[in-house]
Amino acid sequence: MKADIYLKALTKRIENSKMREEIMKEYQDHIEDCKEALMNSGMSNDTAEKEAVKQMGDPSQAGREMNRLYKDTLDLGMTLWFLGVTLILLPLRWLWEIKVPLYVLEYIGRVIVIYGLLLSAWEKYNNLGINYAFAKNWSAGAGALNNSGLILAIGTAFMAHNMSRGVWITLTLASIQVLLRSFIQSLNRKRETELLWEIGIADTAVTYKGKGTFCGRQIKIKTKEQEIQPGMPIIIVAMEGARPIVERV
């Protein structure tokens, strides 16, 4: 087995995209070191490579073991941001006398919270970072972290009519957000490991968007290379949220 085939089979089993590249580099270095030692002992390049790969063991089993070691199932980043903003907004809410009936604040808060949870799910589906809106809107002069953590904190402040209620709502929403984002993360990673290294054909011109056929079905794709023309063979090398990133074969 060639080294590149082994590494693709290995990394296809690893769900943690943040660790996948590092693990791939580590195994690649091991193979190169072993290959060099075998070549120094008299083996040819091809024979040394095959033997070095053989000594690495079964790629699927190794990949599953690495996945078990580096698997992270909980998504905590946005939830921690939500908790931090809430700690700032809640005291301000209790110090600010709002001359509006509590039931009006309650309904407004519920609408904001529902929107915040839907936004949180959309953010995770598209793999957007905590400060994505900040970076996107800064040039337009907005400069605000308009993400789900902030939205949920605002909704919590509207609904927190007293301290105990505020704490209860905060903890409940934090738990829901962790479970929601972790579930979507698991779906994205399952899709990623299914599609990673699959070879297909570009159905349209592919730039920051496009379509290609893989395993008999057409899916939306993008590339970070120059434009890929229709009909060219392509391979999925990574995922950006739920959107595969492709390169020319």
Q: Three-state SS across 38-85?
A: HHHCCCCHHHHHHHHHHHCCCHHHHHHHHHHHHCCCCCCHHHHHHHHH
pLDDT for the residue 97? 66
pLDDT for the residue 141? 40
pLDDT tens profile 7-47: 888 888 888 877 888 888 888 888 888 888 888 888 888 88
**What distance in Å separates the CA atoms of residue 196 and residue 224, rounded to the nearest whole number?**
16
Q: Above 90 in pLDDT, residue 107?
A: yes
Side chain identity at residue 149, one-letter code: G
21-25, 155-159, 165-169: the lowest-pLDDT one? 21-25
pLDDT for the residue 249? 87
**What distance in Å separates the CA atoms of residue 51 and residue 38, rounded to the nearest whole number?**
8
Question: Which two tokens mark 28?
Answer: 């690649």
% pLDDT > 70, the chain:
93
Residue 133: pLDDT band (50, 70, 90) is low
- Quote the distance between the C-alpha of residue 47 and its chain's center: 38
Average pLDDT, the chain: 85
Distances in Å between the Cα of 12 and the Cα atoms of 9, 25, 73, 90, 139 are 5, 14, 17, 45, 38
The stretches of the chain forming alpha helices (DSSP H) are 3-11, 17-40, 45-55, 59-70, 77-95, 102-125, 132-137, 148-159, 163-195
pLDDT for the residue 152? 94
Give domain limits for the chain. Answer: 1-72, 77-192, 196-249
User: Which residues lie across from 223 on neighbouring strands?
Assistant: 246
pLDDT tens profile 206-224: 998 999 999 889 999 999 8
**pTM, entire model:** 0.73
pLDDT for the residue 136? 46
pLDDT tens profile 40-93: 888 888 888 888 888 888 888 888 888 877 777 778 888 988 999 999 888 887
pLDDT for the residue 140? 42
Q: Above 70 in pLDDT, residue 122?
A: yes
More confident residue, 216 or 97: 216
Please name the CATH architecture into which domain 196-249 falls. Beta Barrel (2.40)
